[in-house]
Amino acid sequence: MSYVTKSPWLIHYDGSSCNGCDIEVLACLTPMYDVERFGIINTGNPKHADIFLITGAINEQNKAVVKQIYEQMPEPKVVIAVGICATSGGIFKECYNIMGGTDTVIPVDVYVPGCAARPEAIIDGVVKGLGVLAKKKEAMEKGLPIDTAKGKEKEEA
Amino acid sequence: MGKRTIIPFGPQHPVLPEPVHLDLVIEDETVVEAIPSIGFIHRGLEKLVEKKEYTEMVYVIERICGICSFGHGWGYCLSVEGVMGVEIPERANYLRTIWHELSRMHSHLLWLGLLADGFGFESLFMHCWRIREKVLDIFEKTTGGRVIFSVCKVGGVRKDIDEATLKEISSVVDGMKKELKELADVFLEDYSVKNRLCGVGYLSKEDAAELAAVGPMARASGLKQDMRLLGHGVYDKLGFEPCIETAGDSYARCKVRIREVFQSIDLIIKAIEMIPDGDISVPVKGNVPANECVVRLEQPRGEAFYYAKGADSKFLERMRVRTPTNQNIPAMVKTLQGCDLADVPMLILTIDPCISCTER
Amino acid sequence: MEDLRETVIIPVTASELYSKVSDLNEDGYRLVQACCTKVSEGFEIIYSFDKEHELLNLKLTIPEEEEIMSITGITWSAFIYENEMQDLFGVKFKHMSLNYGGHFFKVSQPTPWNPKN
Amino acid sequence: MSTITFLILFPLLSAIALLVLRTDAARGVIVKVSATLIAVASIYLAYQYFGIGEEYFDFANETVNLGMTVIEVLLAIMIIYLGIKYKKYLASVLAAIQTPTMIWFEVKVGHHIHVTNNLYVDRLSIIMVLIIGIIGSIITVYALGYMKDFQHHHKDQPDRRPFFFFIMYLFLGAMCGLVLSNNIVWLYFFWEITTLCSFFLIGYTKTEEAINNSFRALIMNLLGGVGFVIAIVIMGSSLGTLELNQLIMMGMFGVPAVTYVAALLAFAGITKAAQMPFNSWLLGAMVAPTPTSALLHSSTMVKAGVFLIIKLAPLLGWQSLAGIMVMMVGGITFIMASFAAVSQSNAKKVLAYSTVANLGLIVACGGIGTYAAVWAGILLIIFHAITKSLLFLCVGTAEHNIGSRDIEDMDGLFTRMPKLATYMIVGISAMFLAPLGMLVSKWAAMKAFIDNGGVLLVMFIAFGSAATLFYWTKWLGKMVAIMANRENIQSGVNKDENFVLSTLTILTVIVCLIFPLISKTMIVPYLIKAFPYVDPKHMILALSSTNMTIMVIMLFVLIVLPILFFGRTNKKIVPIYLAGANLGDDLTFRGAMEKEVPVSLKNWYMEGYFGEKKMNVIGVIATVVIITGVFAILLGGVL
Amino acid sequence: MNMTIIISVIAYIILAPIVGGLLAGIDRKISARMQGRVGPSILQPFYDMFKLMEKEAITVNKAQDFYVGCFLFFIIVTGGFFFAGLDLLLVIFTLTLASVFLIVAAFSSNSPYAQIGAERELLQMMAYEPMVLITAAGLYLVTGSFNISDIINPENGMAIKFLPGIFLGFVFILTIKFRKSPFDLSMSHHGHQELVKGLTTEFAGKTMALIEIAHWYENIFLLGIVFLFIANGTVWGAVAAVVVCLVTYFIEILIDNSYARMKWQIAINSSWIVAITLGFINMLVIYFSKFVL
Amino acid sequence: MAAFKIGKVVLRSLFKKPATLMYPVVPRKWEERTRGHIDININDCIFCGICARKCPTNAITVDRNKKSWTIERMQCIQCTHCVDLCPKHCLSNENTYTTPEVEKVVDLHVAPPEEPKPASDDTNKDSVEKKNA
Ligand code: NFV
Ligand code: SF4
Ligand code: SF4
Ligand code: SF4
């Protein structure tokens, strides 16, 4: 059994979100939603994190930062794009300083829609992310390249 | 100097949910120099006026920020209404005021929680956010959104609140007072909290005026400056008076915000008592005339500035939003001089920074 | 209390801007904002000042190439607006007290509000 | 006997040879040969008297006495001259008081007192001789390379190396004499010589600062010298003896005048050991070339002061005012100097303050005057001598290779000079960490303090060691920091220097390993002799043998662990966390205004809490009050 | 006698991480409830630890793991010495050695937040060290021995009777040692803070797991010292001591949830003042009654 | 000096039932106005394209020829602007949100063929097709 699904620690980075999704991510940690029930801790440190929650779209400035955070996370790890901005650039897609959703720089494992994404949706997204995490862990144990375990599409294929 | 430590603070940093960056130069733990750098969230959304009609633009402007979203919507609508010369119904004005004050409550409670988190008081953070959820529930019920409401439109509001719900709101916010009082006591009287707040980040009245601080930051330094006095919404009818503190330190800023939460509750209850019946919007049609209008609105963080310029088309020529955080950054830079490293997040927090507002 | 709808806009020229601003500053006005609009003649810059909730706007219209005097010497907090205008529009300022040199908003394409090509 | 003479006189010969033969090659040979001979002789001495343990020698010789007097007069004239030349009149005045008094005494009283034993050997002096002979001479070898570099760095100055080595060797001889003299007048003579050696070496560079500091050292030491002279006068006139062992004997029998003598000698010891209020001279002495600091100002000369106090320990303790003075001065010095060290970033100053602090600890141990305390004190002397000289020399080497003696400039030393950093790590750890030397003795001292020191001293040691922990660990932290992408410049280190450093490092570890043996064969027998009134069977040492064994085992583990595991990891090496703005080389981040800002990590110094000035002022006032108080009471007793 | 020593040491080595982990789990549960939340499972610390073990092995340099390993090793040794009934000072010095290893590990990474965390940790050590030594001295003065095996069988009853001040002082600095608010300056177990993860910023995966385990060992050992104050050699004394340990732990949790994090100045000022007042006065009283009366 | 100011709150919370909603164990009940996702009654749609043109995020595409109405779920911000503007009132706001997915979801609604059919025929139900972006 893999413990990674029982203690997923997360790191949250605000790409260029409007704060709407940010505060909903934070709200998940607070009494009403309390994701610590699932063993989730908001560690601010990529080196301790298993789940990368990213809100907001990618722009030229935070591209490197997002990439770096992602690279500093040890395997297995999943990326969850929270909010419409993070999934596709959302309402700001046409802005001159926006490059697009998170998947323009790093592979995204779960997309959580909503503007702002509701805490319930974020919890659903994380739960879904845990499934991916478990699969990646399995792949890691088998010595497979981890990216091949990336979720549904490959599973179907 | 041999003993200077230079480290990056942000863009990714756990205490600040938003990306700002400081080149921090510290000695022991005393900050000797802090060079701020922003621009990580700049989207350039003002330029969308060229692509979105003025009626759609409100949804964009609302998403400048998820915390003071309603105020942005209101400010935008006011400025466009100003350009177009539209009068909106009284009930709409009341509803806008109620939602705006609820937003202020949620924003201030959020801030209080973050502040508590900033000085490592986890349980206080949790309790603040627990109470805040009640306000969010009201939003959910009345507008269908928790943080982004999409209820303002040019010409009025999109949704009405029925009598029963208004009563309920009134009793819910009234009921919050008791719990808030307990938490307010912790913020204002607990030894450890006071120790972290009192005397930290002092900003004198002169400096506040000189650096053009706005909102609670200015009011905590003794400046009587609150755009609600300008008379938008129905504040003049509610008999509004701003909350002023004179100490100018983090504690005073905290106190101003706490007092404002209670004040907001009173304003909401009063507004609900006085709200008239009637329409909630007037139809607005046609192009935006080539005209300009400036509107200032008191957001939770202070004075926001909206400038709209029409071009006799469905698209505005220029929409400009200047947010309170933007205006408070010089004051923040000032308070950072000579503080402790441990105070850095706190001082950044005491201006209640909203970077997404600032950078748009 | 001013009327909400009334917007006072006083046109100024580039040469009198500095002295105007310093007069206002002396009178106890604080800087509220400065913003730029790209118009066909060049740039239209509005400086807004406030004193006890009275708002005063100075409107300056300059050709694109003209360099104007920075007002950071009078009111330091203007550095935010000047840097913003510099980054987004390419307005040129003389003697800025804090110049981020185009890295304030760090836009991916230079002066997006006034594209060069 | 002949070994003793050899140890005192041979260095003198080498010194003269070094003064005369001025070429680099000759100097190299002489120094290396003499150093070896002295070291061998000291070991031979230890071997010779190992079984005997204690022996006194007559060695009476009028010419020797006369010679000493003549030299003393010449030296006094020189001091008076120099004092006037450099406008340091106080020095002249002190010399003008001291030497005439001494001569007057010699003529009037001293002459008539018969000294049976002029020289002696006991286990304590063997320990001291070993330190002088081995550590001292090895430092002179180090100085060969160092002074060459030094001259290189100070091209503007004339090459005065012959003079330098002359003084160094002269000093070695005098130091041996000092620890082997039973005749207090002889002791005084050697004492003065070491003072002068230190004076010349501090002023070696002849800069204004150096001259000022050298005079400060001279004046303070002469002040102690005056105390010494008065002690001799009282001793001679009212006790009728000039022999150290006699003095101690009389003290144990409770002869009243001994209190005065003990107090005055202890005072002299305090000045020499740079205790507060006289600590400033040692700090000033750091302008001297580093081998000097290692030899005179940490491992040996300052030890003369504590040596004397430890010798007198049986006379001190709570029942004697002198004892209370000594332990309080030591305790206060320990805590204040430890605090002051926290605020220093200059490596030599840190070492200086730490030296002062450790001497304070030894002095306090001597002041408590129980056998357990003395046991701790002697162990402290041994460990401190080795480790401190190692550290001083490491700093010297670092300075010549990276161009700074500031700890904060030793960034990434582990990557740049791995060997040197390792030596330093060993040295620093040995100063304060568990199974290593200094901690063992500190532990013993602590126990002695709790048992006999009273609450105040317990507080001193509790707080002082907390500060000690702080300043050593932060230095250690600088040493271990691994900075990628730095050039390795270890190969630039002079071979002699490297040899000496590695020897000292190994010595540090070895002594830590065999300290139970040293305790058993050297210190305990000494204590049995020195504390005849304590039943040897009841002599419970601070550290039970179980504890000593555990310590040694722990040390073994600590040696073995790194050999087995250090650096053995096949983990993926990743860049460090820089808030998402690491530019990839771990040294710079993307800063405001898009600049590449280098990360700079510096330690804490807490000026506001532990500022040097503040600590010194407090310490000086407190100790001055205590010293004057004690002497006032003593004087009151006389009048 | 020897047999009991061996058994207690082995019991410590095996049980301490289990009990320590459970205590940590209970801590998290109680904290959560105090914050009005449900909180994680009581076994969560173990899940976390196993999870960390499973993660990809990364490090920032080749030296770090060695230092962290030494940290864990010497923490275990410290506790081992303690439960073997050896000299209390030896135990304290070994603990210091272990803590220095942790700090050195952080320093070795040469990374800003780790370094500042290390610096603060060092400051905390400086803050609590005097009180720890005074505690040892106090226990020694009361029981006449530094040997823990003697201290738990005091001749004249519970040590706390004579050492109320020192006991309070020790509980005070326990807040630092348990890394609890208001003194969780250098790293906090849960939540995020101004120093990111402080000391542990650069430790990932297994390395971090080792640190967690070390903390569990350390906590049990620290509660062991609390135990010393109450134990009087009888069974009911031992039971009372365990109860006091648990109550102390609960109080620490309560304090953790009732205070803002203070700055380093307060940490050092307050703990030194506590050491000087409570510790010093208590010692003075003992000395007075022992040597003067 | 007021210490333990929060003590009362904290201790009370310790013994009270926690405030946690226990989602997902206990499902959340949504308000009527809750803006979850946009639904369409494709039968009423006349494919005028107003919704597509006015949608601030261009989440909707309408193809008059194929009679299809497509929404990119991961692009819609639930502003309900389209609902307000639809001349046929065939768009509605449903109070359940789109569930998180590992891929971006696009919902394609195609109007049923136009030949009149008995009302009970189930081809009348709109065919929804999910496809990957
Ligand atoms: N209040 C507010 Fe805003 C606005 N306008 C501001 O800085 O929060 Ni995001
Ligand atoms: S999805 Fe909406 S709420 Fe979330 S960050 Fe983007 S605009 Fe804000
Ligand atoms: S606006 Fe209404 S009718 Fe027109 S295409 Fe859209 S859904 Fe169909
Ligand atoms: S709700 Fe808004 S974003 Fe979504 S489809 Fe309708 S108009 Fe577009």
Q: Reduce the DSSP state of residue D450 to 3 states and report it.
A: helix
pLDDT of residue A154 exceeding 50 = no
| Per-chain mean pLDDT for chain C | 80
Contact at CB, A24 and B147, closer than 8 angstroms = yes
Nearest to B152 by CA among B49, B60, B25, B29: B60
| Per-chain mean pLDDT for chain A | 82
Task: Using pLDDT thresholds of 50, 70 and 90, give the confidence band for residue B2.
Answer: low
Residues D234-263, mean pLDDT to the nearest whole number: 84
Residues D269 and D344 in one domain: no
Contact at CB, F31 and B185, closer than 8 angstroms = no
User: How far, in Å, are D228, D233, D627 from residue D260 at the CA level?
Assistant: 11, 11, 13
Nearest to B73 by CA among B54, B90, B87: B54
Contact present, D and F (at least 3 Cβ pairs less than 8 Å): no
Phi and psi angles of residue B345, each rounded to the nearest 5 degrees, phi first: -60, -35
Contact at CB, D463 and E130, closer than 8 angstroms = yes
pLDDT tens for each residue of B303-322: 888 888 888 888 888 888 88
Residues, chain E:
293
pLDDT of residue B341 exceeding 80 = yes
* Bridge-based pairing state of the strands B292-299 and B302-309: antiparallel
Residues B194-222, mean pLDDT to the nearest whole number: 86
In the numeric block, which tokens belong to residue B242? 């701003």
**Residue in B39, B127, B148 closest to A61 by CB:** B39
Task: Using pLDDT thresholds of 50, 70 and 90, give the confidence band for residue B245.
Answer: confident
In chain E, the largest separation of any two C-alpha atoms, in whole Å, equals 65
Q: Which atom of ligand 2 is nearest to the CA of A116?
A: 3
Q: Residue A36: which CATH number?
A: 3.40.50.12280
More confident: D185 or D535: D185
CB pairs under 8 A between B and F: 71
Q: Which atom of ligand 4 is nearest to the CA of F83?
A: 6
- Give the pLDDT confidence score for residue E18 in this predicted structure: 92
Q: Is the CB of F80 under 6 A from ligand 4?
A: yes
User: How far, in Å, are B240, D319, E49, E123 from residue E126 at the CA level?
Assistant: 53, 34, 29, 5
- Give the pLDDT confidence score for residue F125 in this predicted structure: 45
**Around Cβ E42, how many Cβ atoms within 10 Å?**
17
Question: Does A150 fall in a domain?
Answer: no
Residues D197 and D239 in one domain: yes
Q: Is the CB of B65 under 6 A from ligand 1?
A: yes
Contacting A with CB below 8 Å, chain B residues are: 11-15, 17-19, 39-45, 47-48, 51, 59-60, 63-67, 69, 110, 113, 125-127, 129-130, 133, 136, 145-148, 354, 356-357
- Give the pLDDT confidence score for residue D536 in this predicted structure: 74
**How far from the centroid of its chain's Cα atoms is residue D254's Cα?**
32
User: Residue A131: CA atoms inside 13 Å, Cβ hemisphere, count?
Assistant: 13
Of F57, F86, F90, which is best to mutate to test ligand 4, by the most ligand atoms within 8 angstroms of its C-beta? F57
Residues D199-219, mean pLDDT to the nearest whole number: 88
Among D128-137, D148-157, D541-550, name the most confident range: D128-137
CA of A28 vs chain D CAs: smallest distance (Å): 23
| Per-chain mean pLDDT for chain B | 86
Q: Is the CB of B73 under 6 A from ligand 1?
A: no
- Which residue, D283, D315, D347, sits at the end of a domain? D315
Give the chain D residue nearest B3 (alpha carbons).
D602
Nearest to D586 by CA among F65, A68, C5: A68
Task: Using pLDDT thresholds of 50, 70 and 90, give the confidence band for residue C6.
Answer: low
**How many whole angstroms separate alpha carbon B35 and alpha carbon B10?**
12
pLDDT of residue E247 exceeding 90 = yes
Chain A neighbors (3+ CB pairs < 8 Å): B, C, D, E, F
pLDDT of residue D571 exceeding 60 = yes
CA of E260 vs chain B CAs: smallest distance (Å): 4
Contact at CB, D590 and A72, closer than 8 angstroms = no
Question: Does C46 fall in a domain?
Answer: yes
Contacts F81 to B, Cβ<8 Å: 55-56, 59, 150
- Give the pLDDT confidence score for residue D111 in this predicted structure: 75
Residues B114-119, mean pLDDT to the nearest whole number: 86
Residues D104 and D224 in one domain: yes
Q: Is the CB of F77 under 6 A from ligand 4?
A: yes
**Around Cβ F16, how many Cβ atoms within 10 Å?**
10
More confident: B139 or D111: B139
- Give the pLDDT confidence score for residue C70 in this predicted structure: 82
User: How far, in Å, are A6, A9, A87, D578, E204 from residue A72 at the CA level?
Assistant: 21, 14, 22, 10, 10
- Give the pLDDT confidence score for residue A149 in this predicted structure: 42
Q: Where in chain B is the domain with CATH 1.10.645.10?
A: 43-334+341-352
**How many whole angstroms separate alpha carbon B326 and alpha carbon B306?**
13
Q: Going by CA atoms, what residue is nearest to atom 8 of ligand 3?
A: F45
In the numeric block, which tokens belong to residue D7? 């140890």
**F25 burial class (0-12, 13-18, 19+ CB within 10 angstroms)?**
exposed
Contact at CB, D469 and E123, closer than 8 angstroms = no
Please give the share of chain E, as a percent, with pLDDT higher than 70.
97
- Give the pLDDT confidence score for residue F116 in this predicted structure: 54
Residues B253-282, mean pLDDT to the nearest whole number: 88
Task: Using pLDDT thresholds of 50, 70 and 90, give the confidence band for residue E19.
Answer: very high
In the numeric block, which tokens belong to residue D388? 């401190």
Contact at CB, B6 and D606, closer than 8 angstroms = no
pLDDT tens for each residue of D427-465: 998 888 877 778 888 888 888 888 887 788 888 988 998
How many domains does chain D divide into? 2
Question: Does D573 fall in a domain?
Answer: no
C108 CB within 8 Å of a chain D CB: no
Q: What is the DSSP secondary-structure string of D124-161?
A: HHHHHHHIIIIIIHHHHHHHHHHHHHHHHHTTTS---H
Contacts D600 to B, Cβ<8 Å: 4-7
Among B260-269, D442-451, D524-533, name the most confident range: B260-269
Please give the share of chain B, as a percent, with pLDDT higher than 90.
1
Lowest mean pLDDT among D432-436, E166-170, E269-273: D432-436
pLDDT of residue A157 exceeding 90 = no
Residues, chain F:
133
How many domains does chain A divide into? 1
User: Residue D161: CA atoms inside 13 Å, Cβ hemisphere, count?
Assistant: 24
Contact at CB, F78 and A114, closer than 8 angstroms = yes
Question: Does C30 fall in a domain?
Answer: yes
- Which residue, D296, D315, D334, sits at the end of a domain? D315
Q: Residues 21..80 of B with a Cβ closer than 8 Å to E: which? A: 29
- Give the pLDDT confidence score for residue E190 in this predicted structure: 59
> Ligand 1: distance of its center to the CA of B108 in Å?
11
Q: Reduce the DSSP state of residue B293 to 3 states and report it.
A: strand
Q: Which domain holds residue D220?
A: 1-315
**Around Cβ E8, how many Cβ atoms within 10 Å?**
17
Thinking of the domain B43-334+341-352, which architecture would CATH place it in? Orthogonal Bundle (1.10)
CA of D139 vs chain E CAs: smallest distance (Å): 30
Q: Is the peptide bond before E182 cis (omega within 30 degrees of 0)?
A: yes
Please name each of the domains of chain F with its CATH number: 32-112 (3.30.70.3270)
Residues D91 and D229 in one domain: yes
| Per-chain mean pLDDT for chain D | 86
Question: Does A157 fall in a domain?
Answer: no
CA of A48 vs chain F CAs: smallest distance (Å): 23
The single residue listed with the structure tokens 């004499």 is: D177
Q: Is the CB of B69 under 6 A from ligand 1?
A: no
pLDDT of residue C98 exceeding 90 = no
The single residue listed with the structure tokens 């409570």 is: E278
Residues D43-51, mean pLDDT to the nearest whole number: 86
Q: Which atom of ligand 1 is nearest to the CA of B107?
A: 1
- Give the pLDDT confidence score for residue D622 in this predicted structure: 92
> Ligand 1: distance of its center to the CA of A81 in Å?
24
pLDDT tens for each residue of E26-42: 998 998 888 888 888 88
Q: Residue C82: which CATH number?
A: 3.30.460.80
Complex ipTM value: 0.90
Contact at CB, F18 and E37, closer than 8 angstroms = yes
C80 CB within 8 Å of a chain D CB: no
b/e D541-575 (16+ beta carbons within 10 angstroms → b): bbbeeebbebbbebbeebeeebeeeeeebebeebb
Q: Is the CB of A17 under 6 A from ligand 2?
A: yes
Query: Which of E26, E31, E38 should we substitute to test contact with F (largest number of F Cβ atoms within 10 Å)?
Result: E38
C108 CB within 8 Å of a chain A CB: yes
Residues D161-190, mean pLDDT to the nearest whole number: 88
Q: Which amino acid is at B175?
A: G
Task: Using pLDDT thresholds of 50, 70 and 90, give the confidence band for residue E249.
Answer: very high
> Ligand 3: distance of its center to the CA of F128 in Å?
16
CA angle E260, E261, E267 (to 5 degrees): 125
F104 CB within 8 Å of a chain A CB: yes
pLDDT of residue D371 exceeding 80 = yes
Please give the share of chain B, as a percent, with pLDDT higher than 70.
99
Task: Using pLDDT thresholds of 50, 70 and 90, give the confidence band for residue A153.
Answer: very low
pLDDT of residue D606 exceeding 60 = yes
- Give the pLDDT confidence score for residue E191 in this predicted structure: 53
- Give the pLDDT confidence score for residue D1 in this predicted structure: 67
* Bridge-based pairing state of the strands A41-42 and A9-14: parallel
Contact at CB, B40 and A16, closer than 8 angstroms = yes
Task: Using pLDDT thresholds of 50, 70 and 90, give the confidence band for residue F132.
Answer: very low
Contact at CB, A96 and C107, closer than 8 angstroms = yes
Q: Going by CA atoms, what residue is nearest to atom 8 of ligand 4?
A: F55
**How many whole angstroms separate alpha carbon D297 and alpha carbon D273?**
9
pTM summary value: 0.91
